[in-house]
Homo-oligomer: A and B are copies of this chain.
């Protein structure tokens, strides 16, 4: 990664600064939608001119930051092995391992989605976050998760709770300790196939594989 183009590979000094700038940009973009370039530079311990020497425009910086955010989130997601075990367990691992990474960059994702309209970049975004959707859809296919609500709504619920929890931690309403458990404890009953009263074989039924109902899965 970080494969430089034919460019005469930059000096150790410079590389370190680029790193610092991207870190600072990610944190600042996350908490305010419009931090000044000077703020970012200062937060990175770098002069404003230096920042411009590495990222010629605000937009360039934003795309670079987005790339880094996608990189981190993708790594966290992959680390949760979303394909292994039952969907329920996978979702639990996903929450435990990736919840903060997924949240930390949420604002950047939104911001990028609004300001950058490079199709390629949006595609990469979608690809990186796809495993989450897939886990949920797998859970529905296997009868673990409920099917009386649209799949896209379950995905939305997942993200919403993740985000809300992280926000509560940031504002001090929640201790960072048991957050993952909290989310899991809330999502499990919300996602589970309705237990009716008796957990008989009931629900399963059919498992009709013929998917007339495509569940849209739009997400634009």
Contact = CB atoms under 8 A, between A and B. Distances in A.
A208 interface: no
Interface residues of A, number: 39
A160 B173 CA distance: 15
Interface stretch (A18-26, A119-127, A181-189): A181-189
Interface of A: 33-34, 148-150, 152-153, 156-157, 159-161, 163-165, 167-168, 171-174, 182, 185-187, 189-190, 192, 194-195, 197-199, 213, 215-216, 218-220
A101 to B, nearest CB: 19
State how many copies of this chain the complex holds: 2
Contact of A149 (B148, B172, B199, B215): B215
A50 B55 CA distance: 41
Nearest to A218: B173
Given A148-B216, A171-B220, 4 more contacts: A152-B168, A157-B164, A161-B161, A190-B190
A168 B152 CA distance: 9
A167 B172 CA distance: 25
8 contacts: A33-B34, A149-B185, A149-B186, A149-B218, A153-B174, A156-B164, A157-B186, A160-B161
